[in-house]
Amino acid sequence: MRLFIKLALLLTLASCAQGIGEDPIEAVKDDVETAAADQPPLIPDFSLSRDELARFAADNADPETGKAIMARSAEFLLLMREILKEPEELFLIADKKRALPEDYEPEDLVALTEFPLTLNRKDLSLRALIIPDLLAMDQAARNEGRVLVYSSSYRSYDYQKQVYQRHVDQMGQEAADRVSARPGTSQHQLGTTVDFGSITDAFAETPEGRWLKENAWRFGFSLSYPKGYEDLTGYAWESWHYRYIGRPAARMTELFFGGIQHNFLYFLDAHRGFFQKRHLP
């Protein structure tokens, strides 16, 4: 009996195939695959389907970032979830297009002399919120025989004014604008930026410079002015200048923005509201 039923089913499938000119089993398989593509599973924590995210990425991201977002959509949104938990102040833009107020000063500055760090100067300070990851990074470097030297950190508006004027006096304004920020436009005023080592191009080839390039993002630190991006960032390459943006944001910058902090910050600034509205409580 079972054999008879099986034969009848096979004959029915064969006649259907002859009638429509295709193998019905393959047709069903194609329908299933199409349905799976049309109705992807919901992405965790956001009211966004895969198709909606794809449309957003196509309209709002460069092609490479868009491809990366869709290739790792769940990870992208999980990282975005964590980024949205961070204080917005952590992602303030300070560059040639956007200046900080003259009186901007973080409220939680702490002296770096309070911690077991190797300092070039005794007057360095940073925001307290970044210290745990800073210490973790410093210890990880020491574990591999690398000693990070801290050469510059928070700078007030007035202090940056002196730094910039000194560069102007030494090299002229045009040259100074390539290597020094005008007061109010320096990331150092944020209290989340560190200059390491010699503060020269030679730092890139030191063991510490190579270690930071490979590992800083794992602890939430991002290179602000990468080589070859002066037209984008407004500044010449600075292999020693790292800004803390938090571990989720630094990971997102590496995975989805090619390690270019500038592009991540402007993307987040433009689209934070989009993701906030679609983030499930």
In this predicted structure, the answer to whether residue 192 has a pLDDT above a threshold of 80 is yes
Query: Average of pLDDT values for 31-57?
Result: 66
Q: What strand order describes the sheet that includes 193-196?
A: 118-119, 149-152, 193-196, 238-244, 221-225
In this predicted structure, the answer to whether residue 22 has a pLDDT above a threshold of 60 is no
In this predicted structure, the answer to whether residue 5 has a pLDDT above a threshold of 50 is no
What amino acid is encoded at 134 in this protein? L
Q: Kindly report each contact of residues 61-68 with a partner whose C-beta sits within 8 Å and lies 24 or more positions away, as own/partner.
A: 61/267, 62/263, 64/258, 65/256, 65/257, 65/258, 65/263, 65/267, 68/255, 68/256
pLDDT of residue 28: 28
* Domains of the chain in sequence order: 1-39 (no CATH), 42-86+262-281 (no CATH), 90-245 (3.30.1380.10)
35 band by pLDDT with thresholds 50, 70 and 90: very low
pLDDT of residue 11: 36
pLDDT of residue 44: 67
Cα–Cα distance between 215 and 37 in angstroms, integer? 37
pLDDT in tens, 222-248: 999 999 999 999 999 999 999 999 999
Portion of the chain with pLDDT greater than 90, in percent: 81
Query: Average of pLDDT values for 24-28?
Result: 30
Give pTM, 2 decimals: 0.85
Mean pLDDT, the chain, whole residue set: 88
pLDDT of residue 253: 98
In this predicted structure, the answer to whether residue 1 has a pLDDT above a threshold of 60 is no
pLDDT in tens, 166-177: 999 999 999 999
Give CA 89 to chain center in angstroms. 15
In this predicted structure, the answer to whether residue 39 has a pLDDT above a threshold of 60 is no
Residue 211 near residue 144, CB atoms below 8 Å:
yes
pLDDT of residue 13: 35
